[in-house]
Structure 1
Amino acid sequence: MYMTLRAEDGHVFDAYVTGEETARAGIVLIQEIFGVNSHIRDVAGFFAAQGYRVVAPALFDRVQAKVELGYAQQDIQKGLELRSEISQEQVMMDIAAAVQALEKQSSVGVVGYCWGGTLAWLAASEIASVNAASCWYGGGLAQVATEQTAVPVQMHFGELDKSIPLSDIEIIRQAQPDAEMFVYPGVDHGFGCDQRGSYNQAATELARQRTLSFFAKHL
């Protein structure tokens, strides 16, 4: 189901929510550049089935409501255009509102994919009530790798990801030596999405297992 959230600047937007209201811990799930589409809702269902309360904020609502894109080239272009119209400050306010929506939970983790992977890292750096973050193939993460956070962070990358080359992964590793970092051999960007040609079931299952273990330890 969907709920309505209000950011610090008064912006009102939707968020997909699932999982028991009485769950001990919560997860803010941060979208790719394709909106809160069926894939993101499936991922939310996965984490809810593990006992978490999950909130996935619709970050594109600041530009266009109810965005649900696919993964064709025209969808990628549209997603990039929408992303370019939203500032980092605005996105962080929306994610903070999603974290606040989990105030009944004793702790909150953030997990994000692609654009959301980088935003998960920034959320861990900037939002005090975030307790841990798992970042899946965060595009542009190397450019913000020197941001600092006091909470545990985990990162997942594909070895063949041309948008996040191994040289960028090394920059991140050098900047954040305490972060858990996993590079999955032979897989490309978006390996965790079963609607993309780059989907890799084995890598996804392993990354999910590691993410669940990470959150079980820190939330």
Structure 2
Amino acid sequence: MSRLNDSPNLRLNYQTARFLTSAPTLAACPPDSGAEVAFAGRSNAGKSSAINALTRQKALARTSKTPGRTQLINFFTLGDDTERRLVDLPGYGFAKVPESVKLEWQRHLSDYLQRRGSLRGLVLVMDVRHPLSEFDQTLLGWADDKEMPVHVLLTKADKLKSGAAKGALQQVRTRLREWEDLVSIQLFSSLKGQGIEEVHQRLDRWLLGDDA
């Protein structure tokens, strides 16, 4: 495998992101090489909107009025560079599907998070008004088991006044203090474009290596 970072000043262009493939299981995922960052979040937390905002594309990650419709692991490359990928994981929470299907999704998600060697970090998307759901805490537990760094996006920050949003941020930081060596947290708004550059810097560090 080639070096992932040839220049410490290299920045990735997330506007070049394009769809690569979808996979229902870990076995069907692209070759486990290079580096990738996965996005996860409870249904209707704003994950697809966040990915679209970060790539400045309107429909790269498809948003739906029916939360939880996406049941596949979706891979995106940055231009023609298949060694650096963004991954959109299935959302959970409000999906109107049988319990057996939800359990199957959870098994495949667990397989991916625990066994995917090229996974460098997890972006965990939470609605700033409803953070740290049971699903969010389950994902944090998986990440902790693997010592996988997590960057939390408290989305829809535009729905709160500035003071309330900052207060919510501080509350989440306090609740996640035990994971502070692995977890970083920020406010984010897809609608207002708030926090995009901060996320880009985090993605660069993970996808390019520690020197980015």
The normalised TM-score by structure 2 is 0.49
The normalised TM-score by structure 1 is 0.47
